[in-house]
Amino acid sequence: MRGLIALLAALSLLVAVPVTAAAAPGPRTGFELTGRWTTESEEQTYLRSLGLPLTQIGTTLQGRPVQLVRVGLSSARTVVLFICSQHGDEPAGREACLIRMRSLPRTGPVTYLFIPNANPDGRALDTRGNSSGIDINRDHLLLRTAEARAMAAVIRDFDPDVIHDLHEFGPTAPYYVKDVLWLWPRNLNVAPGVHSLSETLSRSYIRPSVEAAGRTSGVYGIYVDPVTGEPIRQVAGDGQERILRNTGGLKHGMGLLVETNVDNTPRFRVDSHLLALDGTQSFTRTNRSAIESANAASRAVRSGPLYFGGADNQPPDPADVLSPVPCGYVLTGAQYAEHRDELDLHGIKSQYLRGGDRIVPLKQEARSYIPLLLDARADEPLMHARPVPQC
């Protein structure tokens, strides 16, 4: 495998790892011991005590580490990535991740990756954004933040088959009061097989897992009439490519957002996230072949229209349909020099042209999001590159 996998494999040789997770009870988080949110120092002590490969993948503006934990063999074919508490004032997901990584099997066909604290500065400050006030979950396209860049590198290097993103929401009575909300990628550029299985993960695995335990659940971002159960209007959860749920789908992984209700007790919220994690684990075990096939098919797409707008529940405006698609986009030497790192983090390949320009052909695995980054018609492009009909 590539860079990070090789690093983690080397680190794992330095740690005595038991064959399974069924050994002694092991360490406990600050939350488990005291009922309050685990502190920063408690988190670091806990992570070091688990005996799992632990790697620093980034550093925040205030100097805190962004870390990656691996549970399972680096050689496993199926990879599941859990992104925990991108919003610093939504701590229940972080606690659930810290608890769950302790009990997962350390051998077998699935590797589980955790970014246990995706916004360390925001958690320390108890703010939604990072220490610069940026919402990290709106930065998975432009990659302005160290936190989003670290996540992009993990997605590029590990090619996760499933990306489970843990959040919390504030309810709006009487239309938005479920215990748990969930949603798949809605972006129209997500390949059909990935989109379909992502929705299956939400509806057929997360929903029954949390509801079997007596929780209520529903689709994120949709106000529902409490009497009829019919949707009233959509207030969130669209197809924006910069949101991880959608970015993950564009990068060939089953994307999933799970949100717990902040009006419930901390213990209830953490337990709800643990139930949702059960659903993702069950989905992965049951559908490994279908997941791998859908992701492979997504990576192989090289033709068809692309979209700058719309969603799976909202037809695109005709002006937002890119058809026919260009062969590629030409970048000036200055554009390439300025944004080379972002292109690399997204796994986008380019070729040198005479005169110092570069061309980014669409016939590559990153096809579904290249126009979203390079075309002037996109909502939030990284640059305005020149589309060309022939490469």
Which among 279, 299, 319 is the end of a domain? 299
Q: What is the pLDDT of residues 66-104, one digit of tens each?
A: 999 999 998 999 999 999 999 999 999 999 999 999 999
- Cβ atoms < 10 Å from Cβ of 329: 25
For residue 62, give the CATH number of its domain: 3.40.630.10
Quick one: 142 and 171 in the same domain?
Answer: yes
Asked if pLDDT for residue 16 goes beyond 70, the answer is no
The β-bridge partners of 56 are: 67
Using DSSP bridges, classify how beta strands 321-322 and 306-307 pair: parallel, antiparallel or unpaired.
antiparallel
Mean pLDDT of 142-163: 98
Query: 196 with 287: CB under 8 angstroms?
Result: no
What mean pLDDT comes out for the span 237-253?
A: 98
Determine the 3-state secondary structure of 157 from DSSP: helix
Spatial contact of 146 and 60, defined as CB atoms under 8 Å apart: yes
- For 44-53, b/e burial (b = at least 16 CB within 10 A) is bebbeebbbb
pLDDT of residue 8: 41
The single-letter code of the amino acid at 247 is T
Q: Give the position of tokens 């936190």.
A: 147
Same domain, yes or no: 166 and 314: no
Rounded CA-CA distance 160/156 in Å is 8
Chain segment 293-314, per-residue pLDDT in tens: 999 999 999 999 999 999 999 9
Q: Which residue from 34, 97, 33 is spatially nearest to 260, judged by alpha carbons? A: 97
Distance, in Å, from the CA atom of 119 to the CA atom of 146, rounded to the nearest integer, reads 10
Would you say 210 and 180 are in contact if contact means Cβ atoms under 8 Å apart? yes
How far apart (Å, rounded) are the C-alpha atoms in residues 42 and 40? 5
**H-helix or E-strand containing 100?**
helix 92-101
Looking at the fold, whether 362 and 226 belong to one and the same domain comes out as no
Q: What is the mean pLDDT of residues 213-219?
A: 98
Q: Let me know whether 124 and 60 are in one domain.
A: yes
Q: 364 and 321 in one domain?
A: yes
Cβ atoms < 10 Å from Cβ of 344: 14
In whole angstroms, what is the distance from residue 86 CA to residue 102 CA?
Answer: 21
Sign, CA torsion 247/249/253/258: positive
Q: How far apart are the first and last CA of the chain?
A: 30
User: Which pLDDT score is estimated for 120?
Assistant: 98
Tell me, what's the pLDDT at 2?
41
Beta-strand runs (E) in the chain:
54-59, 65-71, 78-84, 110-115, 162-169, 180-183, 217-219, 222-224, 231-234, 254-261, 306-307, 321-322, 328-331, 351-352, 358-361, 386-388
**152 and 187 share one domain:** yes
Give the end of a domain, one of 299, 322, 340: 299
Phi and psi for 21 in degrees, rounded to 5?
A: -90, 10
Residue numbers annotated as active site: 259
Assess whether 51 and 82 both reside in one domain. yes
pTM for the full predicted model: 0.93
The range of the structural domain enclosing residue 314 comes to 306-388
Split into its structural domains, the chain has a count of 2
Residue 55 phi/psi, 5° resolution? Answer: -130, 140
Last residue of a domain, one of 299, 332, 365: 299
Neighbouring residues of 278: CB distance < 8 A, sequence distance ≥ 6? 209
Residues 212 and 361 in one domain: no
Residues 244 and 271 in one domain: yes
Say whether pLDDT at 18 is over 80. Answer: no
**Domain shared by 252 and 373, yes or no:** no
Check whether 251 has a pLDDT greater than 50.
yes
Q: Which of 15-24, 196-205, 247-256 has the lowest mean pLDDT?
A: 15-24
Whether 180 and 92 map to the same domain: the answer is yes
b vs e for 66-88, b when ≥16 Cβ sit within 10 Å of the residue's Cβ?
bbbbbbbbbeeebbbbbbbbbbb
- Going by C-alpha positions, the residue among 149, 170, 161 that lies closest to residue 236 is 170
Q: Within 13 Å of residue 266, how many CA atoms lie on the same side as its CB?
A: 14
The pLDDT assigned to 216 comes to 97
| Domain shared by 102 and 31, yes or no | yes
**pLDDT at position 25, please?**
63
Region 125-133: mean pLDDT is 98
Beta strand 358-361 with 351-352 is antiparallel
Closest C-alpha among 268, 270, 258, 271 to residue 206: 258
DSSP string, 254-313: EEEEEEEETTS-HHHHHHHHHHHHHHHHHHHHHSHHHHHHHHHHHHH---S-EESS-BTT
In which band, very low, low, confident or very high, does the pLDDT at 9 lie, cut at 50, 70 and 90?
very low
Q: Yes or no: say if 272 and 215 are a contact pair by the CB < 8 Å rule.
A: yes
